[in-house]
Structure 1
Amino acid sequence: MLPTGPTITEQRWVPFALSRWVPFALSKRLNIGIANATGEIIMRMDAHSTYPPSYVSGLVGWLERTHADNVGGVWITVPARQTLVAEAIALALSNPFGVGNACFRIGVKEPRWVDTVPFGCYRREVFDHVGMFDERLVRNQDIEFNSRLRGAGGKIFLTPEIYSYYYCRVGLWGLWKQNFQNGQWNIYTIALTGWSLSWRHFLPLGFVAGLVGSGGLALEFPTFVWLFGAIVVAYLVSAMTAALGSSKGRHASLRVLLPVVFLVLHLSYGLGSLWGITTLARVWRYGN
């Protein structure tokens, strides 16, 4: 197994630049920081997270040894408060039923090449070859950039030996708002940049569209009640099965809370995508 980072042979203070907050979208602020950076490595470290002492040296070490263009570690999702609802949200965001096959969220056993990583540790020349973050995007700017990076022949590496702790939303309303906006910006992202997202980002849209479509048709054609019922039953069975697996050895209340959290997560995400479709004209005007 490869070591997680280089051996430290010297420690010294180095000058750094602290940029003031500017009233622009995150992508523009990131680009300002990158443009003013003087080092050979660009590392993004976001809020709502904590990082172990070896995080920086570990990612730099893997970047050097793998010759990847971007390296990241896994997210360990933890509740921001010690409540059962917050714990259920953290479990849902680490479960394949909740978030699909996002390797950095559900974890991997061995290091592997992936489509994206959280935050990222990049070689500086990557931004010279591929360009900067798309300043039209309020969300998904890292995923879209990594898609461009892979399209240009770049490689992205994920290692479970490097990790950060991500503190998720503490309540159902916060989870709903966050994922409604996530679903909304998935539609805006593909409209503005082309297909840069994974299929997993659109499964909630398919679920909600199936419910709305079959439910609406059932009002006129009673036979569609069976389709609506089949979608509901299949979802509930899947949600309860996933909840039983994730809550094993934990508080019994999580077996009830987790299916509710899954439903809030997927409904808000899917409805956000539907709203994104209905408001595309406004985004095209802004994007152009």
Structure 2
Amino acid sequence: MSERVVSVIVPCRNERRYIERFCAGVLSQQVPSGWRLQLVIADGDSDDGTRELLQQLNASDSRITWIANPARIVSPGLNAALKVAAGEIIVRMDVHTDYAPDYIAQCLALHAETGADNVGGPWHAVPDADAGAMQHAVAAAFQSRWVAGGASSRRLDFNGWVDTVYLGSWPRQTFERFGGFDEQLVRNQDDEHNLRIVKGGGKVWQSSRIRSTYRPRATLSQVFRQYLQYGYWKPFVMKKHGQAASLRHLVPSLFVAALAVLAVPALFGVVWPLLGLLALYGAAVLAMTLAVWQQQASPVPVVLRIPAVIAAYHLGYGIGSLAGWWDVLRGATGRARFATLTR
């Protein structure tokens, strides 16, 4: 009886610093008896030596396959990897995430138990071992349900049916039924694909047994640009599916719009409405900071940076959303400036 294949698909670009460690971690996964592992990496025209390193890794281990992704963004890379993946189960992974030794085994087990069209775990942010106070603050804020708007994907203990999961794993039939990833989306392509599954009658399952740790951005500017992109591409997803925006997606853009509106009378000396809104927001950020600190006790240098991180999340997402809605409503395609890497 021939072995069954599980394929790991990974888009990457300029990851020479991390790619060897990542590949070693994937290849050491505890794949159940009767299964064979395949790792497919789509390289987005790396110019830092990543491609040459992938060629060496491929020559030393036949389980590794690399392909070119000239588009340089995630969704075309995922689709290109899907075309050469031989697995009956497809597992998506990210270079900047560390995985429990049984990550793939749990994905396979939960597919058998649930029959879901996509199975994944929670999104768990953990700083690098040598991280400074800012990356610790980013990770602490990232994990807070108050900052994340109550998203189930940030709840490490949640088990159940959801709208989306971190990364994900799919039976091949899921892609045959619902299609691949939308190559027009630089961000949110995973959310859009999950939305397509759920609207099409499929199911997505999140399990706390699927464990991984994500390395968040290390600087405030990177966080801002990351959430600027998340906010920008969300309206394109909503337009495609005729999806109403949830409150957690609307609040940042409404706040930024209110700031812009109240800035006009402030220019003519009527500053109290703007100051009042800023005071209310400052109180809200302080409350969220205290909630983050209560949830995850942190040293003072970390706590002092959390308000700036929260503001970067909200302002980045809000400004990005408004820019995205502007382009969607005037029928424009996504702008290149919102497609650049944020690491």
Q: TM-score, normalised by structure 2?
A: 0.73
Q: Give the equivalent residue in structure 2 for 1:283.
A: 333
Query: d(CA) in 2 for partners of 1:75 and 1:285?
Result: 28
How large is the RMSD of aligned CA atoms in angstroms? 2.7
Moved more, 11-20 or 136-145: 11-20
Question: How many residues align structurally?
Answer: 278
Q: Give the equivalent residue in structure 2 for 1:85.
A: 134
| 1:5-33 residue CA offsets vs partner (Å, 9 max, x unmatched) | x9944676776461322212321221122
Q: Out of 171, 187, 208, which is 1:123 matched to?
A: 171
SS at match of 2:185: coil
Q: Give the equivalent residue in structure 1 for 2:68.
A: 21
Query: Quick check: 1:34 aligned with 2:82?
Result: yes
Letter in structure 2 aligned against 1:77: A
Query: d(CA) in 2 for partners of 1:226 and 1:62?
Result: 55
Unaligned runs of 5+ in 2: 1-29, 39-61, 337-343
SS at match of 2:70: coil
Letter in structure 2 aligned against 1:232: L
Q: Give the equivalent residue in structure 2 for 1:3.
A: none
SS at match of 1:121: strand
Query: Quick check: 1:133 aligned with 2:181?
Result: yes
Unaligned runs of 5+ in 1: 1-5
Query: d(CA) in 2 for partners of 1:267 and 1:140?
Result: 18
Q: Give the equivalent residue in structure 1 for 2:104.
A: 56
Change (3 A) 1:259 1:17: closer
Moved more, 52-61 or 200-209: 200-209
Q: Out of 207, 213, 219, which is 1:165 matched to?
A: 213
Letter in structure 2 aligned against 1:18: T
Change (3 A) 1:54 1:268: same
Letter in structure 1 aligned against 2:224: W
Q: Shift in Å at residue 236 of structure 1?
A: 1.5
**% identical aligned pairs:** 33
Q: TM-score, normalised by structure 1?
A: 0.86
Letter in structure 2 aligned against 1:102: A
Q: Shift in Å at residue 196 of structure 1?
A: 7.8
| 1:39-59 residue CA offsets vs partner (Å, 9 max, x unmatched) | 211110112111111100011
| 1:190-238 residue CA offsets vs partner (Å, 9 max, x unmatched) | 344542865423321121112112332455694xx55433432222122
Change (3 A) 1:275 1:16: same
Query: Quick check: 1:240 aligned with 2:305?
Result: no
After TM superposition, list the pairs within 5 Å mapping 1:170-249 onto structure 2.
170-195=218-243, 198-219=246-267, 222=270, 225-248=271-294, 249=297
Q: Give the equivalent residue in structure 1 for 2:120.
A: 72
Q: Shift in Å at residue 102 of structure 1?
A: 1.7
SS at match of 2:166: coil
Query: d(CA) in 1 for partners of 2:126 and 2:255?
Result: 27
Change (3 A) 1:62 1:99: same
CA contact (8 A) 1:41 1:121 kept: yes
Query: d(CA) in 1 for partners of 2:273 and 2:148?
Result: 25
Letter in structure 2 aligned against 1:168: P
Q: Shift in Å at residue 61 of structure 1?
A: 0.6
| 1:168-193 residue CA offsets vs partner (Å, 9 max, x unmatched) | 11011111121112211123333445
